[in-house]
Amino acid sequence: FKLKEIAEPEGLLKPGIKVVDLGSAPGSWSQVLREALAGPGGVVQGRIIALDLLPMEPIAGVEFIQGAFRDDEVLAQLDTLLGGEKLDLVVSDMAPNLSGVASADSARIEHVCELAIDFSLNHLKPNGALIMKIFHGSSYSGVVHEMKKVFKTVSPRKPKASRDRSRETFLLAKGLK
């Protein structure tokens, strides 16, 4: 529901797009993408590619690559699937394993966000978009600053489906500079 609340008002989930779901396991965001891109007979119109270190149950119409998306082998598989084409949308619900030590966790969160930004910079169309999870904390403003260097617009989103007490927020970035 979080992804739908963020993406649908922006018109980002439409048949025919090419999208990558970073950190896709267990598959809930890939399932939402599949439903949004399903045309007549439930056939996906567009391309959904899910990437994760962890295994994921198969979802009809979603292509899955298991591995780290910054590894050359995984990137080669992705490039083969995309056939040299760029993406319309990158979504990232990734979160690092947290230790409870604020400074260490902040650095881990920032690193995961930087990986998603870098991936987007290399794979999005000029008018593409990135939806990325982040947590409020000491790294938040730095990540927003980095995103603003790369994207024309960056705006925070707190979906109703996210608990009020949660530090979880999402950033929507559109249009590469």
Residue listed under structure tokens 């995984």: 74
Sign of torsion over alpha carbons 28, 34, 35, 36: positive
Interatomic CA distance for residues 129 and 37, integer angstroms: 16
Read off the tokens for 123: 């794979």
Which residues are the active-site residues? 133
Tokens describing residue 1? 């529901």
Which residue from 43, 1, 53 is spatially nearest to 22, judged by alpha carbons?
Answer: 53
